């Protein structure tokens, strides 16, 4: 990958609107080009029990039970080098039935939330995400500021989010911040009561989106 390259991420306003659309967010068109970074930098992908075509396409050797889910969900286990066993000669061998998590994944979320990790296990993904460049109108600028406030809020209440079963990890935090960002368009909470009210509202919104929240670990 060309370390110096920058990629057009599109109009931020349209993009974030799509991320809030339950249908559009399920199947994202990312101009990935030849990049396969998110297929080569993970430990496991959760696959729901009703993703029957996907589960049928993957050898049981690469699957294990997802102990976080009570309904028969599986985890697609990455190879020891964090590459996906379904990646064959640089392409997804089960593309037409790839997991929902793969369809919904969009590394531009990390750029939008400024959660770019350029060190450690997430470095490759962070470096790729850092190459996206959005365009903005005034409303979009306000929305990105709200996303950044939401990230700060999630970090501040990490224990509360974890205790309610929400995964706490950059790609998930970015997605959650996008999902709750509209709560911050009016500014940050100024009192403890406003903070508590916002937390309850944020948890409610995230529960609403929970079926679309696909953890990648
Ligand atoms: S890291 Fe981003 S650009 Fe690369 S394949 Fe994944 S979603 Fe596409
Ligand atoms: S299933 Fe396909 S799209 Fe998903 S991580 Fe593996 S190779 Fe990539």
pLDDT score at 212:
52
**Any idea of the CA torsion for 151, 176, 19, 24, to the nearest 10 degrees?**
170
| Max CA separation in the chain (angstroms) | 55
Beta bridge partners of 88: 91
CA dist., res. 80 & res. 43, Å (int): 8
Is pLDDT above 70 for 163? no
What is the percent of the chain where pLDDT is above 70?
A: 92
For the Cβ of 84 lying below 6 angstroms from any atom of ligand 2, the answer is: yes
Instruction: Name the band, by pLDDT with cuts 50, 70 and 90, for residue 167.
Output: low
The per-residue pLDDT for range 48-102, each reduced to its tens digit, is 999 999 999 999 999 999 887 768 899 999 999 999 999 999 999 999 999 999 9
Dist. CA 16 → ligand 2 center (Å): 24
Residue tagged 């057009």 (tokens):
8
Residue whose CA lies nearest to ligand 1 atom number 2: 107
Axis-axis angle for helices 192-209, 170-180 (nearest 10): 110
Question: pLDDT-derived band of residue 18, with 50, 70 and 90 as boundaries?
Answer: very high
- Structure confidence at residue 4 (pLDDT): 67
Ligand 2 centroid distance, CA of 96 (Å): 10
Angle at 24 between CA 21 and CA 28, to 5 degrees: 130
pLDDT, mean over the chain = 89
pLDDT for 216 beyond 50: no
Q: How confident is the model at residue 188 (pLDDT cuts 50, 70, 90)?
A: confident
Cα 189 from Cα 192, distance rounded (Å): 8
Band of residue 36 on the pLDDT scale cut at 50, 70, 90:
very high
How far is the C-alpha of 144 from the C-alpha of 131, rounded, in Å? 17
Most confident of the following: 27-31, 152-156, 207-211? 152-156
What is the pLDDT at residue 217? Answer: 36
The pLDDT-based confidence of 3 (bands split at 50, 70, 90) is low
Nearest-CA residue for ligand 2 atom 2 is: 92
Length of the chain: 217
130-158 pLDDT, tens digit each: 999 999 999 999 999 999 999 999 999 98
Q: Is the CB of 63 under 6 A from ligand 2?
A: no
pLDDT at residue 33 tops 50: yes
Whole-angstrom Cα distance, residue 204 to residue 83?
A: 34
Grade residue 174 by pLDDT with cuts at 50, 70 and 90: very high
pLDDT at 215: 41
pTM of the model: 0.89
- Residues 140 and 186: their CA atoms lie apart, in Å, by 14
Looking at per-residue confidence, does 189 or 22 come out higher?
189
Q: Quick one: which of 138, 117, 107 has its CA closest to 11?
A: 138
Q: 102 CB under 6 A from ligand 2?
A: yes
């Amino acid at each position: 990958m060309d370390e110096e390259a920058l990629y057009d991420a599109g109009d931020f306003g349209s993009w974030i609107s799509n991320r809030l659309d339950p249908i559009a967010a399920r199947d994202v068109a990312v101009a990935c080009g030849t990049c396969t970074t998110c297929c080569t930098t993970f430990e496991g992908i959760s696959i729901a029990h009703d993703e029957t075509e996907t589960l049928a396409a993957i050898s049981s050797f690469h699957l294990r039970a997802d102990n976080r889910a009570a309904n028969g969900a599986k985890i697609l286990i990455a190879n020891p080098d964090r590459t996906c066993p379904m990646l064959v000669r640089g392409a997804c061998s089960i593309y037409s039935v790839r997991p929902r998590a793969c369809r919904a994944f969009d590394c531009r979320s990390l750029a939008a939330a400024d959660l770019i990790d350029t060190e450690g296990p997430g470095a490759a993904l962070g470096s790729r995400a850092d190459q996206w460049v959005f365009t903005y109108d005034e409303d979009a600028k306000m929305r990105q500021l709200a996303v950044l406030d939401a990230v700060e809020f999630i970090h501040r209440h990490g224990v509360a989010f974890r205790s309610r079963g929400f995964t706490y990890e950059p790609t998930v935090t970015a997605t959650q911040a996008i999902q709750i960002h509209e709560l911050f368009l009016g500014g940050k909470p100024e009192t403890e009561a406003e903070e508590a009210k916002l937390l309850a509202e944020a948890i409610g919104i995230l529960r609403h989106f929970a079926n679309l929240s696909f953890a990648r670990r």
